[in-house]
Amino acid sequence: MQSFSVYLVKTMKGKSRPDSVEVKKANIRHHDVEAEFFERAHPEGSSVYERAKVSKSIAFIAENSDVRDLCVDVGCGIGFVTSFELPLYKVVVATDISRRMLEVAKRRFGRLGSLNLVVCDAEFLPLKSEIADLVSVSSVLHHLPKPFSSIRDISRILRGGGFLYITREPSFRRLRRFFDFFDYFVVQKLSKLAKLFFSGLELCESHVSVEELDYAKVDVHYSTGFHVAQLSEVLVSSCFEVVFAYSYHWIYPDSDKGWLQQLLTRSNFVVEKIPLSNRLGRYVTAIARKRA
């Protein structure tokens, strides 16, 4: 198996950076394979907690938009965020670099006349400038070789006053360390212990492991993550006014089924009420409005 280092090229200053084309090819291969079992591989991504967060954010954006003609979901995958946008926008363009992801999205939501699917790269969106009322980018930036310059092209298609919704990007590594530790040592041990004592009760694990999937090749910015302050700065310098930017989602189990997993997922609703918790979550989210 190839190692991640083949995807690194030396810059002029001698530093290594990911080779853009190779990263994108790896993303196509990876997500083409993952498409059919995406929700099982990433149960936290469509959990009851994540649904509540996305639903609330899209509703907030819709309420504060005077026009809701066109929405573009960049890197839509199998259409998780798209599904919240479809009832609220006249036309929804769901784009992704993986054709297989879009095929699954089509199977799920293709019956809805407002849905349009486009296979394309987030860095080169084949859309006119200043036409979208909302652009969403969920769990995509960390896959892009140059996430911050991609934000600039994404902003190109937004009209003045339109909204950008970025969500479920890994937060800054140092800040998520405690919860990574909590996940691997406390949550997993708790699940095993519960299985021992309540062997008759249903406890599920996602158990998805496919040879062809190598996350190191596609999650190029996962290890460093994104700092809320840094993301906000980039947004401000790209003509946005930041409405909200914070981190969220602290505890997640390895499945969305089973009573213990459900309980752990729901515990996030409690944790988010603790003061300052929104600085220490594992994901970052931002809602920004393009200046007119």
Ligand X SMILES: C[S@@+](CC[C@H](N)C(=O)[O-])C[C@H]1O[C@@H](n2cnc3c(N)ncnc32)[C@H](O)[C@@H]1O
By CB under 6 A, name the binding residues for ligand X.
24, 27, 31, 45, 75-77, 80-81, 96-98, 101, 121-122, 138-140, 143-144, 168
Nearer to ligand X, 168 or 290 (CB): 168
User: Minimum CB separation from ligand X for residue 168, in Å?
Assistant: 6
Nearer to ligand X, 24 or 217 (CB): 24
According to DSSP, residue 201 is labeled: S
Nearer to ligand X, 96 or 254 (CB): 96
Cβ-in-10-Å burial (0-12, 13-18, 19+) of 281 comes to buried
According to DSSP, residue 17 is labeled: E
Task: Name the closest residue to ligand X (Cβ).
Answer: 77
Beta carbons within 8 Å of 284's beta carbon, 6+ residues apart: 166, 167, 169, 170, 171, 172, 225, 226, 227, 228, 231, 245, 246, 247, 248
Nearer to ligand X, 142 or 191 (CB): 142
User: Nearest Cα to 247, choosing from 273, 221, 283?
Assistant: 283
User: Minimum CB separation from ligand X for residue 244, in Å?
Assistant: 18
User: Minimum CB separation from ligand X for residue 240, in Å?
Assistant: 20
According to DSSP, residue 256 is labeled: S
User: Minimum CB separation from ligand X for residue 174, in Å?
Assistant: 22
Nearer to ligand X, 76 or 228 (CB): 76
Which sign, positive or negative, has the C-alpha torsion 37, 42, 48, 52? negative
User: Minimum CB separation from ligand X for residue 198, in Å?
Assistant: 32
